[in-house]
Amino acid sequence: MISAPLLAWLQLRREAARLAVAIAGVGFAVVLMFMQLGFMDGLFRSATALHRRLAADLVLMHPHYDVLGKPTAFPRRRLYQALAVTGVATVTGVDTALARWKNPWTGRTRDLFLIGIDPAADALTLPGVETQRRMLQQPDLVLFDALSRQEFGPVAAEVTAHGPLATELNGHRVRVCGLFRLGTTIGTDATVVTNRVTFRRIVPGYGTARVALGLVRLQPGADAEVVRAAIEAELPPDVTVLTRRAFAHRELAYWRSVSPIGFVFTFGVGMGVLIGAIIVYQILFADIAEHQAEYATLKAMGYTTGWLARTVLAQASVLALLGFVPGLATAWRLHVLAHEATNLPMKIGVDRGLLVLGLTLAMCWLSALIALRKLRRADPADVF
């Protein structure tokens, strides 16, 4: 008359050093899982950083459009046609392209992501852009992402300290007149915002009659799905209309399909589970081996193999929970450090916490089930 969980805990507690090793092992696996999932999510989330900053309820694009910077564009006329649809409040075009940036300090060139906007329209909800976009009404001025990679030169420090900085984009002379903060993404190392006219001077082949994206704001009370369908029905089939969320999903789908990120990090999570499972198996196996005579005695007294199995599974659950807590705390701290080092958006949400907790429990139970084979060999007749 003793409960299996109580016996489980008392058996574990008796070997303090072994328990500490087990908790450290599970905790290590938990940290590994969190970091792999965190980097994967951070990379994918970074890919849609700009999407989340678009001042748009609906987005117009070429039907073959699948990733930012892709040179697919649709006729600019469609923007005005969309404006005529009931429920649409404003429409503005956004041009996108890759452009070669000349590092003013080294003279070396490197590709960055170039955005062309109408300085009079609200296109990007980025703090630095919202306040400084009026400056872009003058030609050949650009805003530079202060969170761009260092290879583009100490642009932010220079502009902050000494004002406008002259350089070249695709060989065209421009001046950096201000900064904003967006951050690097999976596909872009740096971002520059300019006006439509300067954009076309930098990218001469782009053409004046075409645009990459159309940003649609709805009138208050208008239903996004209804208006989306209405625009698509009204416009020729050379334009696709998506909600901003669906637009972000399309970007994610692209990166999932072309990059090994999903595979690499899922593999990493699997390694974490495997390492944890091996450690927990070793601990539980040693514990069962040590208590073999006691378990055989309990069997002789009428305790069933099922009851003893519950004890071992309870031990596995205790190890999972005791390892998860310090693992979560460590991973939380490492996420902050990783964010500071990489600028990737790294955050542990409730759903990911539950996912890792579930993986940890599954890992420990799997180990317990394997270790249980040892328990079945506890023959009560061997007590003698």
Partner 1 sequence: MEAPVIRMAGVCHSYGTGTLRTQVLFDVTAEVHAGEVVLLTGPSGSGKTTLLTLVGCLRALQQGSVVVLGQELLGASETARVAVRRRTGWIFQLHNLLRALTVLQNVRTGLIGETGIDAAEADRRARALLAQVGLAHHALRRPEELSIGQRQRAAVARALVSRPRLVLADEPTAALDRQSGRAVIDALRALAKESGAAVLLVTHDDRIFDAGDRVLHMEEGRLEPALPGHSKEGASCPHPSSAFSR
Binding footprint of partner 1 on the chain (CB under 8 A): 1-2, 7, 10-11, 13-14, 291, 293-294, 297-304, 380-381, 383-384
CB of 48 to partner 1, least distance (A): 53
Q: Give me the residue label for tokens 């306040």.
A: 131
Q: Which is nearer to partner 1, 275 or 322 (CB)?
A: 322
Q: What are phi and psi of 105, to 5 degrees?
A: -85, -40
- Structure letter (DSSP) for residue 239: -
Query: Crossing angle for the helix pair 350-376 and 261-290, nearest 10 degrees?
Result: 40
Q: Which is nearer to partner 1, 340 or 384 (CB)?
A: 384
Q: Which is nearer to partner 1, 33 or 298 (CB)?
A: 298
CB of 13 to partner 1, least distance (A): 7
Q: Which is nearer to partner 1, 289 or 325 (CB)?
A: 289
CB of 361 to partner 1, least distance (A): 23
b/e per residue, 333-356, with b = 16+ CB within 10 A?
A: ebbeebeeeebbbbebeeebeeeb
- At residue 246, the 3 state secondary structure works out as helix
- At residue 227, the 3 state secondary structure works out as helix
Burial class (CB in 10 A: 0-12, 13-18, 19+), 332: middle
Spatial distance between the Cα atoms of 258 and 302, rounded to a whole number of angstroms: 60
Q: Which is nearer to partner 1, 303 or 332 (CB)?
A: 303
CB of 294 to partner 1, least distance (A): 5
H or E element at residue 92: strand 88-102
Spatial distance between the Cα atoms of 94 and 129, rounded to a whole number of angstroms: 14
Q: Which is nearer to partner 1, 133 or 299 (CB)?
A: 299
| Beta partners for residue 211, in sequence order | 74
CB of 3 to partner 1, least distance (A): 9
Q: Which is nearer to partner 1, 3 or 219 (CB)?
A: 3
Please name the residues in contact with 334: beta carbons below 8 A apart, sequence gap of 6 or more. 31, 34, 35
Q: What are phi and psi of 365, to 5 degrees?
A: -65, -40
CB of 10 to partner 1, least distance (A): 4
CB of 297 to partner 1, least distance (A): 4
